[in-house]
Amino acid sequence: MLTVMVELIPFSTALRERSRSAHSGSEHAGFMADLMRGNGTRDDYVALVAQHWYIYAALEAAASTFATDPIAAPFITAKLTRLPALEADLEYLIGADWRTRITPVPTTERYVTRIDEIADAGWAGGFVAHHYTRYLGDLSGGQFIGKLMSRQFELGTNGIGFYVFDEIADPAAFKDVYREQLDAAPWDAAEAERVIDEVLLAYQFNTDLFVDLAAAKAASAA
């Protein structure tokens, strides 16, 4: 009986429930929590934008790899593409030479390596796991984070383009369709489990990223 009931839970619901505490870990990581509470600096915000650049470069390169994959393709749309916005943000925040002024922290290197490995292996489920963790987050809490950063650092509409999805008028409706697509993915129980594990790993990278950024900040203040 229990097995039957478990199978009735849509995959997207199981995924959200199974990742709830990992989400909480990322959301409340000290570096992010400080930024949200107004205890972070503009430099802290810029450091985060820089790490996002490496992560989305990897994610969006992987999206090109999977563009014609039957499982991954329904999730891939230019409406989500963040790299050009990140580059415009970095140019505004750091200057035209931003590329020579940023470096990845160790967690970002590991995060990027993992996304590259998944692309090289052609594992569509793993790609969807990373795609979901970043973009659904950006369309959820990210919408609030962007407004808060703009207000805190008096950026107006500059330097926060990453959080602005010009082509997605209704993020809630977009997320509903995305969840329907997750539920329609042709994964058996074992693959569904592997995808959930990969989402948990993606959350861990995001939490560890905040730990690294806090350590880098402490080191530069010393």
Closer CB to ligand HEM, residue 10 or residue 122?
10
Query: Binding string, 60-99, against ligand HEM, x = CB under 6 A?
Result: ----------------------------------------
Closer CB to ligand HEM, residue 91 or residue 110?
110
Closer CB to ligand HEM, residue 125 or residue 137?
137
State the nearest-atom distance from the C-beta of 207 to ligand HEM, in Å. Answer: 7
Q: What's the full length of the chain, in residues?
A: 222
Query: Binding string, 127-146, against ligand HEM, x = CB under 6 A?
Result: -----xxx-xx--xx--xx-
Stretch 152-211 residues interacting with ligand HEM (CB under 6 A): 175, 203, 206
Give me the residue whose beta carbon is nearest to ligand HEM.
141
CB 13 within 8 A of CB 4: no
128 by Cβ neighbours in 10 Å (0-12 / 13-18 / 19+) ranks as buried
Reduced to 3 states, what is the DSSP secondary structure of residue 125?
A: helix
140 by Cβ neighbours in 10 Å (0-12 / 13-18 / 19+) ranks as middle
State the nearest-atom distance from the C-beta of 134 to ligand HEM, in Å. Answer: 5
Distance between CA 183 and CA 191 in Å, rounded?
Answer: 13
Closer CB to ligand HEM, residue 26 or residue 107?
26
Closer CB to ligand HEM, residue 101 or residue 193?
193
105 makes contact with ligand HEM (CB under 6 A): no
CB 192 within 8 A of CB 105: no
DSSP state letter for 41: -
Stretch 7-66 residues interacting with ligand HEM (CB under 6 A): 16, 23, 26-27, 32, 36
CB atoms inside a 10 Å sphere around CB 99 = 12
State the nearest-atom distance from the C-beta of 19 to ligand HEM, in Å. Answer: 7
Question: How many amino acids of this chain bind ligand HEM (CB under 6 A)?
Answer: 18
Q: Residue 4: CB partners within 8 Å, gap ≥ 6?
A: none
Q: Which residues of 72-87 are buried (b: 16+ CB within 10 A; e: fewer)?
A: bebbbeeebbbeebbb
Binding site for ligand HEM (CB under 6 A): 16, 23, 26-27, 32, 36, 132-134, 136-137, 140-141, 144-145, 175, 203, 206
